[in-house]
Structure 1
Amino acid sequence: ARDKEFDRIIGLEKGSDDYITKPFSPKELVLRVNNLMRRVYRDEDKYLSVDGYDIDENQRTVVEGSTQIELTTKEFDLLMMFVNNRGKAFPREKILEQVWEENYFGSDRVVDDTLRRLRKKMPNLSIKTIYGFGYKLG
């Protein structure tokens, strides 16, 4: 069993999150694993607040106050593109590329239609139209 301080330091320097020496109690091991899992999953949670809306990126939900706002998949994807690039302006073609990807072959007006629905559902969202160019949040 490697229970010397030197061994523990080497293990931690090599990237270990924790180090436990033998003999150990099963209860201690379970508690250490649970603590590690709690830290890992807490770090992965993506909660954002934008213009009075609370967004949970993992659950793909938007809440205003106590009211959940129902968004379609593309409405949510469009929202997240703007939220993750706040202040950056996008032309319609770039939005199509990022949100609808290359497999979309319809009209580029789908961006305008989806944005219109998003603005109707989320009127406080500050998505601005940049005349002759495209759109940006903020």
Structure 2
Amino acid sequence: MRILIIEDELKMASYLKKGLTEASFTVEIAANGKDGLFLALHENFDLIVLDVMLPELDGLEVLKRLRMEKQIPVLLLTARDTVEDKVAGLESGADDYLSKPFAYAEFLARIRSLIRRAPRIVSEVLSVGDLEIDLVKRRSRRGGARIDLTAQEFALLQLLAERQGEVLTRTFVTSQIWDMNFDSDTNVVDVAVKRLRAKIDNPFENKLLHTVRGMGYVLEDRT
């Protein structure tokens, strides 16, 4: 999923980008309001992190112009924390508001909450190579043969399929499947992936579920 950070404090922007990248997000940065608005209007993002005090075009003006064209979830970041400032931001179209300084854990939790709340348009049937995942009937098939999965295995497969081609870290997978932040050294994800791989990959010549050493897992057809 793609996130745009519009922030003129480069140290802050780099810090947030590093954390979000480690959480399996793809991140772009704009250092002023004018460039940020251009990117927001001409590229596709799943969420925007927007500072209020920006050069060239302030954050509230960026937000107002953006809302005339698109309805993308927006998290406002600002050093202003009065009730009046928060009301102004929310009435301008922000979906959430976070005052500086803030803890990164809270920032990430708010990002994930906004993404979960945002409406998503997905196909009823996802396909990766000859693997098909029916999201309505909660069934999966490969090469025409039905594959029986547990509820947890299906949830993991759906997560990987919806983001096929993207490397998902173990931390991201645990937060999405178990709704918890496990220690990064835990093998809970490795065990779950091993069980899923035994069903969707091991009986077949073409492997779809790949391990990316030091990063995580990706589901894709590499033929």
Quickly name the TM-score band, shorter chain normalised. 0.5 to 0.7
Report SS of the residue matched to 2:149. coil
Report SS of the residue matched to 2:217. strand
Runs of 4+ in 1 over 2 A off after TM superposition: 64-67, 102-105
Which residue pairs with 2:4 in the alignment? Answer: none
CA distance in 1, matches of 2:127, 2:218: 17
Q: Displacement, 1:74?
A: 1.1
CA RMSD of aligned residues (A): 2.5
Percent identity over the alignment? 34
Structure 1 counterpart of 2:218, which letter?
K
Question: Is there any run of 5+ residues in structure 1 with no aligned partner, and where?
Answer: 1-42
Alignment TM-score, normalising by the size of structure 2: 0.38
Which residue pairs with 2:211 in the alignment? Answer: 129
Give 1:23-62 correspondences, 5 Å limit.
46-62=124-140
Residues 62 and 125 of structure 1, relative CA distance in 2, 3 Å threshold = farther
Structure 1 counterpart of 2:141, which letter?
V
Higher helix share: 1
Residues 137 and 44 of structure 1, relative CA distance in 2, 3 Å threshold = closer
Structure 1 counterpart of 2:212, which letter?
I
Greater RCO, 1 or 2 (C-alpha within 8 Å, sep 6+): 1
Aligned length: 95
Q: Displacement, 1:103?
A: 8.4
Residues 88 and 46 of structure 1, relative CA distance in 2, 3 Å threshold = same
Please tell me whether Structure 1 or Structure 2 has the larger radius of gyration of its CA atoms: 1
Structure 1 counterpart of 2:127, which letter?
S
Question: Is there any run of 5+ residues in structure 2 with no aligned partner, and where?
Answer: 1-120
Deviations 1:29-55 (A, max 9, x none): xxxxxxxxxxxxxx9970122221221
